[in-house]
Structure 1
Amino acid sequence: MKLLGMMLPLLVSLSLLIGCGEKEKVIVYGSPENEKEVEAVLKEEDYVDKTTVIQYDNSMLVAVQIKPWDKWKKAKLEKKLQKKFDEKYPSKDVFVSADYKIFYEANKIKREQVEDNKLKDKITKLKKLAKEET
């Protein structure tokens, strides 16, 4: 009985800490004009694990990580998401990638807080990197 009395508070506090440990699913960097709409579109898709969105000028880079069970159909899901963004934002140049290296580099841009004048060059390099065959 004493053991249960000692373990119960520990178990309750551990469960609370684990529940509060969820990280952000969607990170939007750059101009915050459509931030809530972009988050809503991405949260609708249950196969998206994490996302980094970089908005600049009239363009948008959407780097996503697909959940592990859906990785085998990554190209199909990437095209589906690209189509959804193209329909939602026809006036913007939207680039969607489910490649981890693009996701990593997009997060690196966010961490380093790249200035607006250098942002376009970095994004152009990322698009070229995504189109490379590995």
Structure 2
Amino acid sequence: MDIRQLITMLCVLLLLSGCIPNEYKFENYTDEDTSEAEELLKGDDRIKGVAALFHDDHLLVGIRVKTFSRFNKRKIAAEMEKKLKKEYPDLSVFVSADSKILTETNKLILKNDERGLKKKIHHLITLAEEET
């Protein structure tokens, strides 16, 4: 095996193993305790990434499921939504396994700007509901 083949093989291995690491982001603009949501979402072995945003009377959660669970991602999202609604009955809970919702929720968390957040949350929820 020459050096070019070795380098090519190493590049392919790096690309294949370069999967997105497990990321769990929680942002809270309320006085709710987020530990229940964190425990519930991190404890589910089908989920490998979460972006959760608590704001006013809303809980917006985007989840990324593991590869072999992707065929059941809507079912998983519905289960998590039901469990979170039980834990947080005072909040309007929305959980989605759509990657667009996860990405946009992550952007809202990273901006760390509370202005106009409620409007953006409503916009994301309506977009997600239109797709289904």
Scaled to the shorter chain, the TM-score interval is 0.7 to 0.9
**How is 1:22-33 mapped onto 2 (pairs within 5 angstroms)?**
25-31=23-29, 33=32
Match of 1:10 in 2: none
TM-score (norm 2): 0.77
Moved over 4 A (4+): none
Instruction: Give the 5 Å matches for 1:70-81.
Output: 70-81=69-80
Q: Find the aligned partners of 2:76 and 2:86 in 1 and give their Cα distance.
A: 15
Q: For the residues of structure 1 that align with 2:22 and 2:28, how far apart are their CA atoms?
A: 17
The aligned counterpart of 2:94 is 95
SS in 1 for 2:116: helix
Instruction: State the partner residue of 1:49.
Output: 48
TM-score scaled by length of structure 1: 0.76
In the other structure, the counterpart of 1:84 is 83
- What are the superposed Cα offsets for residues 28-64 of structure 1, whole Å, 9 maximum, x if unpaired? 1132632222111112211111101100112110111
The equivalent residue for 2:105 is: 106
**Hey, what's the Cα distance between the residues in 2 that align with 1:51 and 1:110?**
11
1:81-108 deviations in Å (ceiling 9; x for gaps): 1111111111211111110000000111
Gapped runs of 5+ residues in structure 2? 1-19
Identify the residue that residue 12 of structure 2 maps to in structure 1: none
Return the offset for 1:24.
5.9
Describe the SS at the equivalent of 1:114: coil
Mapped pair 1:69 → 2:68:
yes
Partners in 2 of 1:37 and 1:107 — Cα distance? 20
How many residues are paired up? 112
Percent sequence identity over aligned pairs: 34
Decide which structure has the larger Cα Rg and report it. Answer: 1
Aligned counterparts of 2:131 and 2:29: Cα–Cα separation in 1: 31
Amino acid at match of 1:40: E
RMSD between superposed Cα atoms in Å:
1.9
Confirm or deny: 8 A CA contact 2:22 2:48 kept in the other structure. no
Residue equivalent to 1:13: none
